[in-house]
Structure 1
Amino acid sequence: MGRRAIIFHGTGARPEWIWYPWLADQLRTRGYDVETPHHPGTNVEPIATFLPTVLAAHTFDEDTVLVGHSGGAALLLALLEHLDVAVAQAVLVAGYSTLPNDQPEPVLQDTYDWAAIRSHASSFVFLNSVTDEFGCDADQGRAMFDRLGGTLVVRDDGHFTSDTLELVNRLIP
């Protein structure tokens, strides 16, 4: 298999929204096979019942790059904990591992096996904002970075809902 990327949308979102199609096109021009699945159960169904569906829907290997935004980034933590291979890279945009606000977050697990997550990705990138209106902020990014290492980029870009996200494109090899 060649280089592959899977872009997981956020809560209540669709693959054709915001920067997801733009990033998919950028990665395709660089030789990636890109999946932009629609998982409407993201952060709606409890992670314990939703995760097996997502794991069964995709193939993961050492050439796979995972990109997740918001609820999709939180989903990546559960995915990585339960994979049986190490992917090339995990990019978590506006990610979080604890309740970011006072809303229910079914995508979150009660606890995480951080060592297992760390062992299932060769590198991590966390992109968070100091002005994230949903609470997926720089503190959330720092908490994941402290447990997993990698690269933490902190911006002043709200919840990262623009039409393009050049920074993420540049951070993926």
Structure 2
Amino acid sequence: MRKRRAALLHGTDGGPNELRWQGWLARQFQESGYDVYFPQLPDSHTPNLKTYDQFLKNSGWDFSDSVLIGHSSGATTTLHLLQQDWFPHVRAVVLVGTFLNERLLSAASWYGQGQFDDLFVEEFDVINIKSKADAFYFVHGDNDPYCDYDEAKVLCAKLGGLFITMPGGGHIAKTANIAQLPGLVKRLKADEILN
């Protein structure tokens, strides 16, 4: 029997130890027998899809038939990876606080003009993305200040995914102080992705 695998991709200025829910979710996968890959993505203040693509391609990690989890710009990276010829089919994709464009960022104190120029370099090919995964799960705060809730719902519907709303969850980042994603884990268990 092949070892089950999951990979977590953090967001802008993030890292493997940044958000409490990420460590908690990684433990849920480990306790279900998964090997978990949670790399520090290079230069994450200015996410660059080409840099991330090469970094992950050369990581030595086997992404085939895995569960791929991305938060914020890590969700954008996940969608990008699924469009690449080299990237294999995966079992499931979890997108948390899905970052689809910069439209809501103008008021963010941390946002710099041009910061995401190398993140949004291509349109999302929904047909191609959908063909690369068996299941899609979206987790989104209904008051996310950076990533549009309704746009995430539309993409989820196009991908035939399951949308989980976190009331008052914001961007599901440090300021929201979210330690767990029990609604997601409950669904992953119901769908036999987790034990």
Q: Same fold (TM over 0.5)?
A: yes
Does residue 1:147 correspond to 2:158, yes or no?
yes
Paired position in structure 2 for 1:164: 180
Q: Is the 8 A contact 1:96 1:144 kept in 2?
A: no
Does residue 1:91 correspond to 2:94, yes or no?
yes
CA distance, structure 2, for counterparts of residue 79 and residue 144 of structure 1 = 16
Q: Is the 8 A contact 2:9 2:70 kept in 1?
A: yes
Paired position in structure 2 for 1:54: 56
CA distance, structure 1, for counterparts of residue 8 and residue 103 of structure 2 = 21
Describe how 1:94-105 pairs up with structure 2 within 5 A. Answer: 94-101=97-104, 102=106, 103=111, 104-105=115-116
Q: Is the 8 A contact 1:92 1:127 kept in 2?
A: yes
Q: Is the 8 A contact 1:98 1:140 kept in 2?
A: no
CA distance, structure 1, for counterparts of residue 127 and residue 45 of structure 2 = 24
CA distance, structure 1, for counterparts of residue 139 and residue 103 of structure 2 = 15
| Range 78-87 or range 5-14, more displaced | 78-87
Report deviation, 1:45: 4.2
CA distance, structure 1, for counterparts of residue 3 and residue 17 of structure 2 = 24
Report deviation, 1:89: 0.2
Paired position in structure 2 for 1:3: 4
Q: Is the 8 A contact 1:69 1:94 kept in 2?
A: yes
Q: Is the 8 A contact 1:78 1:109 kept in 2?
A: no
Paired position in structure 2 for 1:79: 81
Deviations 1:20-69 (A, max 9, x none): 1111112111111111111033461431343222222232112x000111
Q: TM-score, normalised by structure 2?
A: 0.79
Aligned residues: 171
Paired position in structure 2 for 1:34: 36
Paired position in structure 2 for 1:125: 137
CA distance, structure 1, for counterparts of residue 51 and residue 41 of structure 2 = 13
Q: Is the 8 A contact 1:95 1:140 kept in 2?
A: no
Q: Is the 8 A contact 1:127 1:141 kept in 2?
A: no
Q: Secondary structure at the match of 2:139?
A: strand
Over aligned residue pairs, what C-alpha RMSD do you find? 1.9
Report deviation, 1:84: 4.1
Q: Which runs of 5+ in 2 are unaligned?
A: none
Q: TM-score, normalised by structure 1?
A: 0.88
